[in-house]
Amino acid sequence: MDGGERRQCDDERWMQEALRQAEQASRWGEVPVGAVVVRDGELVAAAHNWRETWRDPTAHAELVALREASRRLGTWRLADCDLFVTLEPCLMCAGAAMLARVRRIAFGAPDPKGGALISKLQALEAGRWNHHPIIAGGILADECGMILKEFFRGLRG
Amino acid sequence: MDGGERRQCDDERWMQEALRQAEQASRWGEVPVGAVVVRDGELVAAAHNWRETWRDPTAHAELVALREASRRLGTWRLADCDLFVTLEPCLMCAGAAMLARVRRIAFGAPDPKGGALISKLQALEAGRWNHHPIIAGGILADECGMILKEFFRGLRG
């Protein structure tokens, strides 16, 4: 494997972990979005969306995972960490990842309605803020989108 | 008093509450930003920035106050609530207020470096998202800015 293939392989491995979190969310009746925080090839934190169960507007998968990673690492600075999330982050979560100084944000499916990295807004575009995470989209996008489609189909059915 | 004067009077009253929270933050060695959530003329939640103490990148005053308000009201939908904060919200906090469906965001001092409502970005500008809180800035701006200036002067001294 060359460097690019290895990166792709790692990306898909971690997105699979995020997808497992999204599946857990479904079982709780939560919109199935999952996220993991990774450092040096090790899982630091994994979480899914908990908004309905916790009745907390801020309990998106990314925010819960970032807070858990900070708790485990004992610092709010997650500079060597990468965030993987099954759905393109919203404004709040894009902002939280930037505040936490994550190195890279990798997401699965784009979010045409709420996505704040590429779809509705390029909220973290270079030159605007002090810190700019690397952004990568489309990792296992079909699987990440499908779990959402199935969830909403189930709600309507 | 006419309606405008009454609004200004209420705004300043709640911003004073947020300023008291900011003063508390200073005592903990936290960057002094405070926030309150108000509904029907009643205080629902009050919080300040806890980032350093909690080692939590998401523990901005607004986010802590919104979560506390949701906990008290038993819902993530804060549709009848107004958020008052001493400093213009960042990207994360602007997004969180939108997700929580707050009716109005009123802030004190603008933030030329990190402000996501007017200063660096108009992240919630009308037409972009499903929900658009009313935005008001400059309430007790001098007092709200002064407490930050004094804090940073103290750090350098």
Distances (CA, A) of A108 to A14, A105, A148, A153, B26: 11, 10, 11, 20, 40
How far is the C-alpha of A121 from the C-alpha of A131, rounded, in Å?
A: 17
Strand, helix or coil for residue A119: coil
pLDDT of residue B6: 84
Could you tell me how many CB contacts below 8 A there are between chain A and chain B?
Answer: 113
What percent of chain A has a predicted confidence (pLDDT) above 90?
90
Q: Nearest by CB to B120, which of A94, A99, A128?
A: A128
Please pick, among A12, A23, A52, A62, the residue that the annotation labels catalytic. A62
Give residue A42's region: left, alpha or beta (phi > 0; psi -120 to 50): beta
Lowest mean pLDDT among A11-15, A89-93, A153-157, B75-79: A153-157
Q: Compute the mean pLDDT over every residue in chain B, rounded to the nearest whole number.
A: 96
Kindly state the DSSP code that residue A103 receives in the 8-state scheme.
Answer: S
Residue A68 has pLDDT above 90, yes or no: yes
The burial class, CB within 10 Å (0-12 / 13-18 / 19+), for B4 is exposed
Kindly state the DSSP code that residue A82 receives in the 8-state scheme.
Answer: E
Q: Quick one: average pLDDT of A116-141? A: 95
What confidence tier does A156 reach under pLDDT thresholds 50, 70, 90?
confident
Which chain B residues touch A57 with a CB distance below 8 Å? 66-67, 70, 76-78, 96, 99-101
Q: Nearest by CB to B121, which of A70, A96, A128?
A: A128
Tell me if B70 and A56 make a contact (CB, 8 A cut-off). Answer: yes
What percent of chain B has a predicted confidence (pLDDT) above 70?
99
- What are the φ and ψ backbone dihedral angles of B36, each rounded to 5 degrees? -135, 150
List of E strands, B17-153 = 34-39, 42-48, 81-87, 104-109, 134-136
State the catalytic residues of B. Answer: 62
Which chain B residues touch A71 with a CB distance below 8 Å? 55-56
pLDDT of residue B5: 85
Q: Nearest by CB to B76, which of A57, A92, A128?
A: A57
pLDDT of residue B64: 98
Contacts of A22 (CB under 8 A, 6+ apart): A32, A33, A34, A48, A61, A86, A144, A147
Distance from CA of A97 to the nearest CA of B (A): 9
What confidence tier does A6 reach under pLDDT thresholds 50, 70, 90?
confident
pTM (two decimals): 0.96
**ipTM value:** 0.95
Which chain A residues touch B113 with a CB distance below 8 Å? 130
pLDDT of residue A141: 98
| Residue-wise pLDDT tens digits, A85-99 | 999 999 999 999 999
pLDDT of residue A60: 98
